[in-house]
Amino acid sequence: MRDTAGYEPLDERARNILMAVVQSFIQTAEPVGSRTISKRFEFGLSPATIRNVMADLEEMGFLEQPHTSAGRVPTDKGYRYYVDHLQGPEALSAEEAALIAQRFPPYRGEMDEVIAEISRLLSELSRYAGIVLRTLASAVFSRVELVKVRGPQVLAIFVLESGMVHHKLITLEEEMTQDELQRIANYLNQEFAGQPLRLIRQRIAERMAEEKVQYDQLLRQAMQVGGKTFEEAAKKDEEIVLGGTANIIDQPEFQSNTERMKELLRAFEDKSRLIRILDKCLEEPGVNVIIGSETPFKDVHECSFVTRTFHSGDRTIGVLGVVGPKRMAYPRVMALVDYTANLVTQLLTQG
């Protein structure tokens, strides 16, 4: 999570009122007035006193007043303070936890089905959008099998240490027999097992430039086949699945502003933007929350991302989470994302 050390210190009264305003706005989607806070929360303060504190919070940048006669709403800074000062995520209900566990398909090495189901589940339970990013670049290679198809076409089946299996159809520069392909697969397995895919691609490129490759036929063929195999893997270094965008569009802040809705839909269509946002999350420990303007893209500034990485053993495989309006139920969504990421990690680690 983002560090709030640079924020102005708030006394207990200001902190309680700020947290109450954010909580009320999340629940109602309506600007919050001092009388609402006075009635809903037992602070023992008059509406006038609460109004004065809210004015101070506005001056400090935690709240803003969308209309002169209206109540106040949180700014991104206000949401950030709220998230960073929560007592902790809500516990998922036993029913929700059981539903997540029941809906996960058995893991048999293929992640596509698991990723799609995770996205659907996160969307369904959060009532926002579920998002999953799987990265292969840091994945560790275990072994490859090369199967001749026809002519120079070869099916490369490579397995990662996590148990994931990937199939790539590659076209070689020259036709090879199945025996030649088997020798090449044996060489690649012996040479590169246990190494990350990104490093393997780099080492293959370096070896292809070496003089030895020019006169060692097996080495030359192995580098050519390995280059094509791992180059194809590079094209799918990262795979992102986003489900349930309609849930966000149905939120009041987008229903009342069609231009904002169109901007958001265009942003969701540009998967490269989402990948750039989630790439940063791969480096964050625990549950991570990105709020509005903390993303570099203006057209998603009305959204927040709640994410957590998932792992196979001690290696990060990807990141999953929920995308929703800034006015989201953070404690519950954080609990949902945390629980789901832990379950995926357990599935991948136990294989």
* Domain end residue (candidates: 66, 84, 102): 84
Task: Note the pLDDT of residue 277.
Answer: 86
Q: What CA–CA distance (Å, rounded) separates 327 from 128? A: 11
Examine residue 5 and state whether it is found in any structural domain, yes or no. no
DSSP structural state of residue 72: B
CATH number at residue 158: 3.30.390.10
Answer yes or no: is 229 within a domain.
Answer: yes
Are 46 and 98 in a shared domain? no
What share of residues in the chain are helix, strand, coil (percent, to 5)? 50, 20, 30
Same domain assignment for residues 74 and 199: no
Residue-number span of the structural domain to which 129 is assigned: 94-136+237-350
Is 168 found in the same domain as 307? no
Is residue 255 in a domain?
Answer: yes
pLDDT digits (tens, 9 = 90+) for 42-76: 888 999 999 999 999 999 999 998 876 678 999 99
- pLDDT given for residue 96 in this prediction: 85
The number of residues making up the chain comes to 351
Whether 4 maps to a domain, the answer reads: no
Query: The pTM is what?
Result: 0.74
Torsion from C-alpha of 159, 346, 350, 106, nearest 10 degrees: -70
Is 30 domain-assigned?
yes
Specify whether 214 is located in the same domain as 247.
no
- Longest CA span, the chain: 88
Q: Identify the domain boundary among 199, 234, 269.
A: 234
Tell me if 59 sits within 8 A of 122, measured CB to CB: no
The segments of the chain whose pLDDT lies below 70 read 1-7, 68-69, 88-89, 105-112, 136-139, 162-164, 211-216, 231-238, 351
Structural domain tally of the chain? 3
CATH of the domain at 245: 3.30.450.40
Question: Do residues 245 and 215 both lie within one domain?
Answer: no
Choose one of 202, 234, 266: the last residue of a domain.
Answer: 234
Which pLDDT score, from 0 to 100, does residue 123 have? 92
For residues 323 and 250, state if they share a domain.
yes
What's the pLDDT score for residue 1?
A: 41
